Amino acid sequence: MSYTSMYSNVLFVLTIINYIGLAILNIQKTNATGERLMVSGFIGLGLIAAYVLFSLLLTISITSKGGFNWLSSATLSRNFLVGILWFCMIAGVVFCAMLSTEMNTDQTTGILRILSKPVYYGSVWLPLLMLIPYAILLNPHWRESIAPGFYKIPLVMACLLGFVIVMIPQIVISMNIRVPKQSVEDWKKENLTPYIEKETSVETLLNYVKDEEKWVRDLAANRLKSLPNWEDELIVKLQRADGYGHYDFHWVYTFLDQYSVEHPDRFVDPINSSLESITKATEMALAKSFVYSGDLILLQIDVVCRVLDHQFKGNSQFFRGNMLSLQKALETPPTEPSQNTPEFIEMIKPYQMAVKGWLERNSG
């Protein structure tokens, strides 16, 4: 085997590997949220970029070996046609791969919903119209023994389909086609209900507890409470502090603000740990050269006070020390004097009042 043949085969294998990764990511749809969604997104972008790169190098390699001489006898024309062929094929795959991330939130109905399925799964079937002919073109024996139509027709189809798929949004707009869609509420009931009922990730369920629709919040909370050791999971999140300012307590307090736990006594020490984390996070936020309101909003200090009042009223004496520390942190001016503005005072006042109110109500 010559060096060029080995190089082409390696590129083909790398392209196949990335195609398999894209296909798996496309087929295994996920409603991941937070960090899992971000990781999934980065993996998808990496696979798309690698697929584009390796398929381009593979196309160039096949072209240099005469695999596309059937397109034109003139080198310049042939290279131009190969470029168009590759670009349309890859544009279609990339479009479908990017669009597939919206499949779980697609609200279209009727025949358009059915017609959209092949597009959503385009990164699974469309690359095959390129990869199978490329496998034939890489093998001179196969190319000579197989009718030319077996590799020419799929390549031309892949090019045309890729172009049409990419142009679909423009066609819809230019023809003023009305796309029928479900209401947000109907879509949620149809798609979220079975998903939430099967969900086993505590983080994902806690994310749905933040939903604006009460029935979604209730469904997620009931599913969460059906999981084994669900209180243990909440306790772990309350106590998580990695030393770099990353905490999970806000997820738990959003839940506790709406739903009760079965064994509140188990949460006393974890809540105290979270109060220490909140105090530390407050101090860090106020020590920055620029005080960002989002840092304090994320701590949900007002929500914490409500939770302590409603679910842990009988344990207030255990929290008082940490609440006094939190009050002191909130009343400490920002390290950077220029940040101690009227806007800052107005922004932090609700949190100061929430803690002060809790201390006054639980002074005994």
Please tell me whether residue 181 adopts helix, strand or coil conformation.
strand
**By C-alpha distance, which of 242, 334, 340 is closest to 288?**
334
- 341 pLDDT band, cuts 50/70/90, is confident
Tokens 């077996």: give the residue.
Answer: 150
- 307 pLDDT band, cuts 50/70/90, is very high
Q: What is the pLDDT of residue 245?
A: 63
Phi then psi for residue 153, to 5 deg, are -60, -45
Mean pLDDT of the chain: 86
Burial of 3 (0-12, 13-18, 19+ CB in 10 A): exposed
Distance between CA atoms of 364 and 150, rounded to whole angstroms? 86
Q: Is the pLDDT of residue 141 over 90?
A: no
Q: Is the pLDDT of residue 29 over 80?
A: no
Highest mean pLDDT among 3-7, 91-95, 117-121, 331-335 belongs to 91-95
Q: Is the pLDDT of residue 34 over 80?
A: no
Give me the percent of the chain exceeding a pLDDT of 90.
52
Average pLDDT over residues 336-362: 88
**Confidence (pTM):** 0.60
Q: What is the pLDDT of residue 68?
A: 92
Residues 6+ apart with CB under 8 A from 314: none
